[in-house]
């Protein structure tokens, strides 16, 4: 199986008439994603490559199940709140540079509605050979039994490619997003992979900053029976310096690669020293 999205997911693209929305809608459809509608306020009645465009989510509530947002940062909050109120699930927010207070409001509304948010500032989610909601390069993915959760977009691609080249296909790959405040995290996704009959092992790609990996390690100790293989990016990052994006900042001894690696190892998680080591660690674990 896959988690969260599959071939039955009906997707609406918010911001479909923009450059990024148009381009990635075409690519998602080429992968097999069931894109049923687009939403751009003021552009209702038009179409993009045969996909009807509407003015609001309210008009597509009976057509779509899930939303992906390619709306510029100043308007992303309103788009996300509209998707949540309209019952879309998941809501994948590709947009970066959303103000923190807007993200806080989005997450608060999502919790109250039971909506799963992926992102903001995420490459999205891809269930191999089933559905893609995001900007991940489709050609590197192969269907298989490895789940992948990542805080780093570029590393996701490198590691998925390494897995695929080593005959280790994937069930679902999820990019958590690079902002300090994001929706779904390691713990929720680990639980979904634990319950998925087709997922044999999970690759967890973390990075410096925050304590998400440490919390995940404690959760794994108590709740996850499947093998987890980890990699932590940013081992040489200096304290206090932003590395890559806003979520990757070390504060004192908290959030360092060393602290995260030690926490994960305490949960009997095999840690790769470099991304290229991951396939062999996976093979030795399943």
Q: What is the pLDDT of residues 61-114, one digit of tens each?
A: 999 999 999 999 999 999 999 999 999 999 999 999 999 999 999 999 999 999
pLDDT in tens, 239-249: 555 555 545 45
Q: Answer yes or no: do 256 and 221 share one domain.
A: yes
- Mean pLDDT to the nearest integer, 212-238: 90
Task: Give the range of the structural domain holding residue 108, as residue numbers without chain letter.
Answer: 10-118
Domain boundary among the residues 67, 85, 118 is at 118
pTM for this entry: 0.93
Which listed residue (24, 139, 219, 245) is catalytic?
Answer: 245
Q: Is residue 229 part of a domain?
A: yes
Whether residues 276 and 159 fall in one domain: yes
245 is catalytic: yes
Give me the phi and psi of 204, to 5 degrees please: -115, 115
User: 265 and 153 share a domain?
Assistant: yes
Q: Give the whole-angstrom CA distance, residue 39 versus residue 79.
A: 9
pLDDT of 250 reads 47
Which residue blocks in the chain are alpha helix, DSSP H? 19-31, 73-85, 100-113, 153-165, 186-195, 212-223, 257-266, 278-283
More confident residue, 237 or 148: 148
End residue of a domain, out of 118, 153, 187? 118
Relative orientation angle of helices 257-266 and 212-223, to the nearest 10 degrees: 0
Per-residue confidence (pLDDT) for residue 101, from 0 to 100: 97
Is residue 124 in some structural domain? no
Q: Which of 16-20, 229-233, 241-245, 251-255 has the lowest mean pLDDT?
A: 241-245
């Amino acid at each position: 199986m896959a988690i969260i999205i599959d071939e039955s997911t009906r997707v609406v693209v918010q911001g479909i008439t923009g450059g990024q929305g148009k381009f990635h809608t075409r690519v998602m459809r080429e992968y097999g994603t069931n894109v049923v509608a687009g939403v751009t306020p003021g552009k209702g009645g038009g179409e993009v490559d045969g996909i009807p465009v509407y003015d609001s989510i309210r008009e597509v509530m009976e057509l779509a199940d899930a939303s992906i947002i390619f709306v510029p940062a100043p308007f992303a909050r309103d788009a996300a709140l509209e998707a949540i109120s309209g019952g879309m699930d998941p809501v994948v927010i590709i947009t970066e540079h959303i103000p923190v207070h807007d993200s806080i409001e989005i997450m608060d509304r999502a919790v109250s509605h039971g909506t799963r948010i992926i992102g903001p500032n995420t490459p999205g989610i891809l269930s191999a050979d089933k559905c893609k909601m995001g900007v991940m390069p489709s050609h590197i993915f192969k269907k298989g039994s490895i789940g992948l959760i990542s805080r780093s977009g570029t590393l996701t691609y490198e590691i998925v490619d390494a897995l695929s080249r080593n005959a280790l296909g994937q069930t679902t790959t999820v990019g958590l997003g690079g902002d300090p405040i994001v929706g779904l995290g390691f713990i929720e996704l680990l639980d979904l992979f634990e319950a998925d009959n087709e997922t044999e092992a999970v690759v967890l790609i973390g990075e410096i900053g925050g304590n998400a990996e440490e919390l995940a390690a404690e959760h794994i100790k108590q709740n996850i029976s499947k093998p987890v293989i980890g990699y932590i990016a940013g081992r040489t990052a200096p304290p206090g310096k932003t590395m890559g994006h806003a979520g990757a900042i070390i504060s004192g001894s908290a959030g360092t690669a060393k602290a995260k690696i030690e926490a994960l190892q305490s949960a009997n998680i095999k840690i790769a020293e470099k991304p290229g080591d991951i396939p062999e660690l996976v093979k030795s674990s399943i």
